[in-house]
Amino acid sequence: MRPPLRIAILECDTPPDVVREQFGAYDKIFETLLHAAADSLEQPDVISSKRGLELSAFNMVQGTTYPDLDSIDAVLISGSKHDSFADTPWILRLVEFTKTLLAQDGIRIIGVCFGQQIIGRAAGVKVGRSDKGWEIAVLPMELSAKGKEIFQQDTLSIHQMHRDVVFEYPEGVEALGSSPKCNVQAMYKKGKFISVQGHPEFNEQIMTRLVKMRHGQGIFTDDLAKDALERAGNHHDGPRHLSDGKVYAITFSRPPPPPLVHDTDETCSVGRHGVILDAGSSGTRVHIYRWLNTDKARAKADQAQLHSLPVIETDKKWTKKIHPGISTFGDKPHDIGPDHLAELLSHALKYVPLEDVPNTPLFLLATAGMRILPPTQQKAVLAEVCDFARKTTQFQLPDCAVHVQVIPGETEGLYGWIAANYLLGGFDNPQDHDHGKGHHTYGFLDMGGASAQIAFAPNATEAEKHANDLTLLRLRSIDGAPMEYKVFVTTWLGFGVNQARQRYVKALLDSYPGNMVLPDPCLPSGLKVTKEGKPIKDGSHEHQGKEPLLIGTGKFSECMHRSYPLLEKEKECLDAPCLLNGQHVPAIDFDVNHFVGVSEYWHTTHEVFKKGHKDKAYDFKTYQQQVDKFCSQTWKDIEKGVAKQKWGHKVDESTAVEVCFKASWLINVLHDGIGVPRVGIEPLKGSKNTTKAMIDKAQDKGFLDPFQAVNKIKGVELSWTLGKMVLYAASEVSAPSTDALTVGFGSNVPGIPDDFQVPGGSYISSSDDGDDHWHDRLFSENPRRIPGFLIFVLIICLACFMLCGRERRKNTFQKMFRLFGRGAGRRGHGSLRRRRGFAGKLFGIGTAPAYERVLESGEGADDFQLGSLDGSSDNDHSDSSDGSRIGRTSGWATPQLKTSHDPGTPTHFDSGRDVVAQGVGLGLVSPAGFPNAIDRGGLMARTDSRERLAAGKKSRASSPSRLRSPMTSLKE
């Protein structure tokens, strides 16, 4: 059982009675915050508000007791009404204690307001009263690059109650954020501390009572108090982010445990497992999937289940996402392991049983962010991912080129199509999903920030007409029956919502050349933002009129009109038909092609307006009514609605700024771009206004409308990673015959096309899926392991050999070659071949002619004969030949000797050249040489000669034309 996380709360003040009566002292207030943070980690059996968290409190003002450093893991220094720069004895003691904490590595610190100032003072920088006055109630903090990485947004709104500040950042400390009145709003030092000038523990009630009390005491003026009270109820990110699991882990967690730590109480039950790391642009999410071994599934399946794909299971707690994306490690790839992967792999190892890890495939498949990295950085990051995973875990990673890669948008779209049809039931029960004309699968639409994808199986007429444009997909049901589909997949780069917005703003700037204020109908009325969509700051170039700014007019119909040209439908279509950007797409028959949309299709249609129609699926009429109603409001009204969570807790101010453009773009892409009929306006054959309940029953009823936005189906997230794992599990199903075609996808041609991609799985019998011996499984799952195993054996042999002394090495050589037939007297080559077996191949002695030794005149030299040569060998050329095997001779330390026979240049084997003396110079033999040629044990060997030896010709020791044949292959 893991020890609890022990946090000491240093109380530097006592809240006034008006606060303490309802919320308690600071230990109670922070306990609420820390418990929320622990619960947000979603690891209830490891740490939560009920388990694994041990809090203690120490009164710094009235007491003299400090926590024992051996009994705590972290310290939280609270806020205070006292001056952090005062020389009061208890403050001086606190500063010294903080210095002690900063000097060690085991205990982390978090500072809040006064606590941040104490950390700054202990770190040697100036703290004191700011001449800019008070910061009170909810105010925005502009985040630095590191702050954005940690908090995952550009600004942070948090309660403030201070006029004392840290004036500068200590050496080695990273800035997290700033505000107009306080340059040092938050600080961070890896492995040491994180601090904020604001109060994440405050809420509207606490702030309101403090402001009223201090106004009554004359500390705050009327205007100051009025302004603060108006903002006290504004949305703030204290509970949302500073109790977030990511920030919590950065701040309080002990150094992360080695990845190979298992908690057997948490593991999944028996079955095959697969782990996929979805490496997106903003972060990486780990997914764990489980399914039954094929033989076991067959034994348990009824007749209907036998004709279905393997049943894949997952669970919400098996999934975990961290930030930022792996593309941010492009210039520091060596940090990706400990700083990024360790947390994800540890999470996976928590749920995959320890004994199953070696048979569990691990994939890291990168998408948007990695696609834009330079190739050298991309390669370095992927190599580091594979290397770290192999060193720290035993997950199955036989081929990094397959398991760790950047996948194109088309592959991502195909995986999404597989996942959608798997969850909806289009694969397993086609008779229950008859859309007409023999069609039973669903189309898939995905829209991210940079690109959009479409994947669907055209109707029979279009499939035949555009056969060359389709991707051939092969799956396999549990009974081994093949399942083949022909799918069209394409990606529209630059058509994601963020890229579309950038193109929109550029067009807006071109429409108003020279103007500094540009009316934007896609922004709420009265809202002013920069070209990048950020708020206008006092003193900024936009505020001073040096850079153009956008001002919202709130006219959604005009917004639709202005965003329509971004579809680029006017581009020349070289291969008709086309939809967007002049890109070819087979004609879509919406009578039979019913689509589901994920990502932005879901977020923008449902999550933003969740309270408006939470139980209703997408239809054009309802959706446009909701968008018109929202976007016609003034920005001030929207701000008030956001603060009161009128549209749900997921709609914050940054979402509200973007949603009108996103909605217009989505509507244009769906209806004017792709051509989806407008449900609710255009009459459709058999159309139904599908409800959420019907979506959940899609396996039984199917979608009857041409488009529905979805997030989960039967409680399972529709993610492309699921599609990848379905494909992998299908590849583990045993084929009904040796003629059965492989599971995977590629060009739509008969057989196995050249570009066919296999998912990486292979059949594993039920006896293999357990505790059988290692020698039964070593090479069965992946034959690529064999060369690595042999190389490992060779390295061990070489290491042992080199550790021996010179005399022992000589004796070993003599014994080895007597064993293999060398030095045993006069033997013909036939006898030598009979002695060559696996050991001979392992050490370079094959059944075909091998490199022969150079024999000086001496005993046995004149009688030694070369074996016959096959004149058709591809590898009997010089070392410049492609087939040359330079250095791969049977000697352990053989120099590479060129055998040029230019008459004007002495060769290594010309008379007068002392070969043994050359060996002495290389440290291969003693100056005394060997008693005879045989005793030298072949330490001098020759590389290929440029001449061929005539068939049947015998060669003597002094012949300059002797030919060396290459070593035989290990595969022989």
| 92 closest CA partner among 118, 112, 111 | 118
- What is the DSSP secondary-structure string of 479-494? TS-EEEEEEEEEEEET
The residue type found at 54 is: E
Q: Look at residue 788 in the predicted model and tell me its pLDDT.
A: 53
Tallying the residues shown for the chain, one arrives at 972
449 is in an annotated binding site: yes
pLDDT tops 70 at residue 762: yes
Q: What does the angle CA 875 – CA 877 – CA 882 come to, to the nearest 5 degrees?
A: 65
pLDDT tops 70 at residue 193: yes
- Backbone φ, ψ for residue 532 (5° rounding): -90, 0
- Of residues 723 and 839, more confidently modeled: 723
pLDDT tops 90 at residue 457: yes
Produce one character per residue of 799-819: b if its CB has 16 or more CB atoms within 10 Å, e if not. eeeeeeeeeebbeebbebbee
- Per-residue pLDDT tens digits for 524-550: 999 999 998 988 888 888 888 889 999
What are the start-end ranges of the E strands in 144-261?
Answer: 155-162, 164-166, 174-179, 182-189, 193-196
* Residue that has been written with the tokens 């790391």 in this structure: 277
Q: At what angle do helices 245-252 and 26-40 cross, to 10 degrees?
A: 110
Taking a C-beta distance cutoff of 8 angstroms, is the pair 160, 130 a contact? no
State percent of the chain over pLDDT 90: 43
- Per-residue pLDDT tens digits for 287-329: 999 998 888 888 888 887 888 899 999 988 899 999 889 999 9
Taking a C-beta distance cutoff of 8 angstroms, is the pair 382, 327 a contact? no
> What is the number of other CB atoms lying within 10 angstroms of the CB of residue 672?
16
CATH code for the domain defined by 409-496+569-720+741-753: 3.30.420
> What is the number of other CB atoms lying within 10 angstroms of the CB of residue 856?
17
Model confidence at 813, pLDDT cuts 50, 70, 90, reads low
| 854 closest CA partner among 884, 816, 903, 895 | 895
Q: How many helices (H) and strands (E) does the chain have?
A: 32, 28
Q: Which helix (H) or strand (E) holds 141?
A: strand 135-143
The residue type found at 260 is: L
- Per-residue pLDDT tens digits for 20-32: 888 888 888 888 8
Model confidence at 885, pLDDT cuts 50, 70, 90, reads very low
- Per-residue pLDDT tens digits for 86-95: 999 899 999 9
Task: For strands 135-143 and 174-179, give the pairing.
Answer: antiparallel
DSSP bridge partners of 8: 56, 75
Produce one character per residue of 485-512: b if its CB has 16 or more CB atoms within 10 Å, e if not. bbbbbbbbebbbbbbbbeebbeebeeee
- Of residues 623 and 187, more confidently modeled: 187
**Rounded to an integer, what distance in angstroms lies between the CA atom of residue 323 and that of residue 530?**
26
197 is in an annotated binding site: no
**Rounded to an integer, what distance in angstroms lies between the CA atom of residue 250 and that of residue 193?**
9
**Rounded to an integer, what distance in angstroms lies between the CA atom of residue 141 and that of residue 180?**
9
Among 115-119, 495-499, 944-948, the range of highest mean pLDDT: 115-119
- Of residues 41 and 960, more confidently modeled: 41
**Rounded to an integer, what distance in angstroms lies between the CA atom of residue 942 and that of residue 846?**
16
Model confidence at 646, pLDDT cuts 50, 70, 90, reads confident
- Of residues 608 and 740, more confidently modeled: 740
Q: What are 294's two structure tokens? A: 């094929």
Q: Look at residue 608 in the predicted model and tell me its pLDDT.
A: 67
Mean pLDDT, residues 73-81 taken together: 93
Taking a C-beta distance cutoff of 8 angstroms, is the pair 569, 668 a contact? no
Mean pLDDT, residues 169-184 taken together: 93
103 is in an annotated binding site: no
Q: Look at residue 37 in the predicted model and tell me its pLDDT.
A: 76
pLDDT tops 90 at residue 857: no
Q: Look at residue 327 in the predicted model and tell me its pLDDT.
A: 92
**Rounded to an integer, what distance in angstroms lies between the CA atom of residue 824 and that of residue 698?**
79
Q: What are 586's two structure tokens? A: 């087979």
Q: Look at residue 2 in the predicted model and tell me its pLDDT.
A: 60
Mean pLDDT, residues 851-863 taken together: 36
Query: Annotated active-site positions, please?
Result: 412
Q: What are 688's two structure tokens? A: 């139904």
453 is in an annotated binding site: yes
**Rounded to an integer, what distance in angstroms lies between the CA atom of residue 584 and that of residue 594?**
20
* Residue that has been written with the tokens 């990110």 in this structure: 237
Q: Rounded mean pLDDT of the chain?
A: 76
DSSP state of 113: T
| 206 closest CA partner among 327, 72, 30, 370 | 30
Q: Look at residue 647 in the predicted model and tell me its pLDDT.
A: 79
Q: Look at residue 787 in the predicted model and tell me its pLDDT.
A: 53
451 is in an annotated binding site: yes
Query: First CA to last CA across the chain, in angstroms?
Result: 54
Q: Look at residue 901 in the predicted model and tell me its pLDDT.
A: 42
pLDDT tops 70 at residue 688: no
Among 46-50, 214-218, 366-370, the range of highest mean pLDDT: 214-218
> Same CATH topology for 5-130+161-202+236-252 and 272-407?
no
Taking a C-beta distance cutoff of 8 angstroms, is the pair 925, 939 a contact? yes
- What is the DSSP secondary-structure string of 243-259? TSHHHHHHHHPPSPPPS
Question: In this structure, which topology does domain 5-130+161-202+236-252 adopt according to CATH?
Answer: Rossmann fold (3.40.50)
Multiple choice CATH, 272-407, 3.30.420.40, 3.40.50.410, 1.20.120.1200, 3.40.50.2000:
3.30.420.40
Q: What are the residue boundaries of the structural domains of the chain, listed by start?
A: 5-130+161-202+236-252, 272-407, 409-496+569-720+741-753, 785-972
- Per-residue pLDDT tens digits for 364-386: 999 878 888 999 999 999 999 99
* Single pTM value for the model: 0.56
- Of residues 305 and 389, more confidently modeled: 389
